[in-house]
Structure formats: C-alpha cells, structure tokens
Chains A and B, each alone.
Chain A
Amino acid sequence: MTQAPSDATTIRLEIARYRPEQDERPVLERYDVPYRHEWVVLDALNYLKDHIDGTLSYRWSCRMGICGSCGMMVNGVPKLTCSAFLRDYLPGPIRVEPMANFPVERDLVTVLDDFMEKFQAVKPWIIRDGEQPLEEGEYRQTPAQLADFKQFSMCINCMLCYAACPVYQHEDEFLGPAVLALAQRYNHDSRDQGKGERQELIWSDEGIWDCTFVGECSAVCPKHVDPAGAIQQAKVESTVGWYRSFLAPFGRG
C-alpha cells in the first residue's frame, strides 16, 4: 500500500495451460498484460481472457477474498489471486499455476471431489440428540463459548491449505487441514453434541495423526484460521481420550 506507483506499463504472466484435447501435460504459456498499480493477479487473468485469449479457464467469483474460488499457485505459493497484487511481484514475470496437490481438470481449474468427500465425512453441522422445545428459547452462548470455536469458523474452503500441505501431497487418505479445523469448529461449539460421532474418523491415522505439524497450512491461510493449531488442539484431546480409555475402559472415552 505504501509503495509508490511503478512506471511499469506491462507485466508478463506465465500461465500453466492444460487443454486435455491438445496438451499431454500442462505447458507454460507467456502473455504480456497491462500493469496497473491497483490490479491483482485475478484482474490480469480477467484482462487476458477478455482481450488476449478467451479460451483460458479458471475459477473466480467475488473478487474480495470471501468466496474462496480463485485459489492458485502464484510463483509457487498458494494464493487467492484476488488478493495477490501485481505490484508485489514486480518486475515479473508472474507464474500462475493451478493449486498444487489437486488433479488438474483444465488450465487453472482443479478437481475438487476429494476435498468435497472429506468435507462431508466430518459432519460439519451441529448435531444434537434432540432439539429443545421452542418455548425454552434460543440456544445461548457466552462470549467465551463463542471464542472457543469462532476462529475455526472463518474458513472459506479455498483449499490453499491443501495446496500447501506436504503431508496431503503424499497421503491421499489424509483428511487435511481445513476439514480437520472445521471438525474442531463443531466439536468446540457448545450447542453441538456430535463429538462422539466425529471422533472415530478424526482421531484415526487418516485424521489428525497423519499431520506432522509442518504448519504451512496456517502460513498460507488467507483467513487466519490456523488449521495447524486446530489439529494440535485435537491431538491433545485425542491423547487424553486415549489414556482415559485405558484408565477407565468402561467410562466415557
């Protein structure tokens, strides 16, 4: 923000193109687009699609870091392209590739099926044994109870953390950072009673225990959710549960 406007007039983009009908593998193609001080990488991509090559495919929607659609690798780092300013990459070139660790469908578009499946597997909704009658009013929460999970509820499912995670890169089964943070978000909600239902999956080898606390997920998270912190928190809870199951095998886990 404090940088003086640059006198650059164009900036070079190196875009990973993959057109399954003609490319055997993704290839980098170079495009020169106008440079503007206030433009983000997504603006440059939109210019490219509107004026240079209309066949470029990529996902985007809100342009303001809310929808989580426009995640890509910018110079090798997972970024929301709507929040990555061209001026931070001067003099260029800027390499834009699809999010790492996901299969590529076309150009900058990745296949999200694996994430969607894991997302549902942790039951990311409030589970209750039974609803309290309407006349008892709403479920009330103290500020402290809200603070316990609020940070983990800020996730926008942009999947940058999956693109950054070296464990997910190798372990297809690993539930991954965002999903585990989301599980923690519901487990720590005072209105939720579904911890037991989520536990088996979360506390398994494919859940939190594949994580080796590299921390890249939290480093790239545009919403400061801190998935690595969520997983560490869950590891402590899982460990307490593990020891308790030996000390009181017939008690509550």
Chain B
Amino acid sequence: MRRSNEPLFWSLFSAGGVVTALLVPALILVTGFLVPAERVEFGRLEAILSHPVGRLALFGVASLTFIHAAHRLRHVLVDMGLRRFRGPIAVAAYLAAIGGAAWAATVAFA
C-alpha cells in the first residue's frame, strides 16, 4: 500500500481554511470599510503592510487562501462526478494556486 502524500496538501488546505476564516473577514472590514470611512488612517495600514513582517503575513494569507480554494475545488469537482479527470483537475487546481501565490508575492514584496 502506497503511503499517501495527501497530508502535505491537506495541511496547507487546513492552514488556508484557518487564515481564511479568521483573517480575511477582518481584512475585508479594515480595507473595505474602515479605511474608506476614515476610521483607520490609510497611512497607518500602509506602514503595517510595508513592514517586512506585514508583507510576509499578507503573502501568507493570500497564498494559503489560494491553496485552500484550489484543494477544495479539486475535491468538489471529483466528488461531483469528474473522477476520470482527477489527475488533470489536481494539476490545474494546484498550478492555479501556485500562480496566485506568485502573484501575491509580487504584490506583497514589491
């Protein structure tokens, strides 16, 4: 019986689920509502996100969210009956996530 490598993908998926559930609503609240309403000063937010730790956190949230979405999409599509294409679906989903993570890196570390 071959040992599964699913733990790698599943752990990243789980991490993505946690950050998505915990941090993304807060980020939407801050960037979408509090900054436009001038309850949070834009300069302060920019200072936080320009700090190396802030950049790393931003990259972490974005890339893990992409991986989470890719993993879920992969399994949902297979569960919904596309079992014959499970290989290509997995490759396409994770490539898209890696692409998203690379994009997040260019934004976060620009």
**Does A209 lie within 8 Å of B6, measured CB to CB?**
yes
B contact residues around A200 at 8 Å (CB): 1, 3
Query: A208 vs B1: C-alpha distance in the bound complex, in angstroms?
Result: 13
**Does A212 lie within 8 Å of B79, measured CB to CB?**
yes
Query: A107 vs B34: C-alpha distance in the bound complex, in angstroms?
Result: 64
A116 contacts partner chain B, Cβ-Cβ < 8 Å: no
B contact residues around A170 at 8 Å (CB): 79, 81, 83
Of all chain A residues, the one with the shortest Cβ separation from B80 is: A166
B4 contacts partner chain A, Cβ-Cβ < 8 Å: yes
CB 8 Å contact bits of A196-227 with B (1 = contact, 0 = none):
00001101111101001010000000000000
CB distance from B60 to the nearest CB of A (A): 18
**Does B79 lie within 8 Å of A242, measured CB to CB?**
no
Range, interface on chain B = 10 to 19
CB distance from B51 to the nearest CB of A (A): 29
Chain B, 1-33, CB within 8 A of any chain A CB: 1-8, 10-11
Query: A170 vs B76: C-alpha distance in the bound complex, in angstroms?
Result: 13
Known: A166-B79, A170-B83, A212-B79. A205 touches B2 (CB 8 A): yes
Of all chain A residues, the one with the shortest Cβ separation from B75 is: A212
A167 contacts partner chain B, Cβ-Cβ < 8 Å: yes
A contact residues around B2 at 8 Å (CB): 204-205
The count of A-to-B residue pairs whose CB atoms sit within 8 angstroms is 41
CB distance from B68 to the nearest CB of A (A): 13
A contact residues around B11 at 8 Å (CB): 239, 243
Chain A, 139-169, CB within 8 A of any chain B CB: 166-167
CB distance from A215 to the nearest CB of B (A): 12
**Does A205 lie within 8 Å of B7, measured CB to CB?**
no
Interface of A is mostly: helix
Known: A205-B2, A206-B1. A242 touches B7 (CB 8 A): yes
Contact with A167, one of B7, B79, B81 (Cβ below 8 angstroms): B79
B contact residues around A166 at 8 Å (CB): 79
Known: A166-B79, A167-B79, A214-B79. A238 touches B7 (CB 8 A): yes
Chain A interface residue count, Cβ-Cβ cutoff 8 angstroms? 19
CB 8 Å contact bits of B64-108 with A (1 = contact, 0 = none):
000000000001100101010000000000000000000000000
Of all chain B residues, the one with the shortest Cβ separation from A167 is: B79
Known: A239-B10, A239-B11, A243-B11. A203 touches B4 (CB 8 A): yes
Query: A30 vs B7: C-alpha distance in the bound complex, in angstroms?
Result: 49
Of all chain B residues, the one with the shortest Cβ separation from A246 is: B8
Query: A154 vs B44: C-alpha distance in the bound complex, in angstroms?
Result: 56
The 3 closest A-B pairs by CB, nearest first: A242-B7, A239-B7, A209-B6
- A residues near B (Cβ < 8 Å) are 166-167, 170, 200-201, 203-207, 209, 212, 214, 235, 238-239, 241-243
**What are 26 A-B interface contacts by the 8 Å CB criterion?**
A166-B79, A170-B79, A170-B81, A200-B1, A200-B3, A203-B4, A204-B1, A204-B2, A204-B3, A204-B4, A205-B2, A206-B1, A209-B6, A209-B10, A212-B76, A212-B79, A214-B79, A235-B7, A235-B10, A239-B7, A239-B10, A239-B11, A242-B3, A242-B7, A242-B8, A243-B7
